[in-house]
Amino acid sequence: MADSHGDPEAIAAGALFLKRQGCTALYHLGDICDSNRRETADACVAKMKGLSIAAVKGNNDHTLAADARGRSDGGIRPATIAFLENLPLSLEVAGAKLVHSRPFVRRLGLSAMIGVMGSREATSFFRENPGGLLFRGHSHRPEMISAEKDGIRFSTLPAGQAIELTGYRPCILTCGALTLGFVMIWEPESDRLTCCAFR
């Protein structure tokens, strides 16, 4: 899941849907909170902790935490700020990389959380990760980027369709936003992916 943008109920609804589908490990690909909805940060982080959802840091999470740390008026619990500050920029799960936007954390640092995943970025990822798999958020519509003989292919992922990823590797998968009702189910043992609409 990704991009809940300060909506704790979207986090809860997405997690409930995934658990009902049999998912045992849940991951959030950043922008848990929204820098323009400070008042929901505590509730969003409480949902993440209560539902045991692992996460990477999104640009909104970073901005909100940095802004809150610099304010004297508070408004956000210190534990919430610490949670957001301590989120990693990337995770590796069953051989897949999880990021908010771009996977080049060593080169780009914090700016890896922003920017587009265009043909140039995809080509660089594919060259550095032959056979690799990247899950990302940031762009709110579900999408697959794959390497084809004639170049880089961008494909919208329809909800409900299962895809065998073995034939598409290396590839980059954009999860889609929780705020729009999207989540993804990845089954590493069969390397199958299903984009789901839970609303």
- Residues 104-124 have pLDDT tens digits of 999 999 999 999 999 999 999
How close are the terminal C-alpha atoms of the chain, in Å? 14
pLDDT at residue 179 greater than cutoff 70: yes
Instruction: Answer yes or no: is pLDDT of 71 > 90.
Output: no
Q: Are 159 and 185 in contact (CB under 8 A)?
A: no
What CA–CA distance (Å, rounded) separates 145 from 136?
A: 11
Residues 6+ apart with CB under 8 A from 135: 27, 29, 96, 97, 98, 99, 173, 175, 184, 186
The CATH superfamily assigned to 8-197 is Metallo-dependent phosphatases (3.60.21.10)
Please give the radius of gyration of the chain, using alpha carbons only, rounded to the nearest integer. 16
User: Going by C-beta distance under 8 Å and a sequence separation of 6 or more, which residues neighbour residue 7?
Assistant: 40, 44, 178, 179
| Stated pTM of the model | 0.96
Q: Which of 1-15, 69-83, 117-131 has the lowest mean pLDDT?
A: 69-83
Separation CA 145–CA 123 (nearest Å): 10
Is the C-alpha dihedral spanning 34, 38, 40, 43 positive or negative? positive
pLDDT band at 25 (very low <50, low <70, confident <90, very high): very high
Mean pLDDT to the nearest integer, 33-59: 97
Strand partners, 192: 164, 187
Residue 34: closest CA among 69, 1, 15, 58 = 58
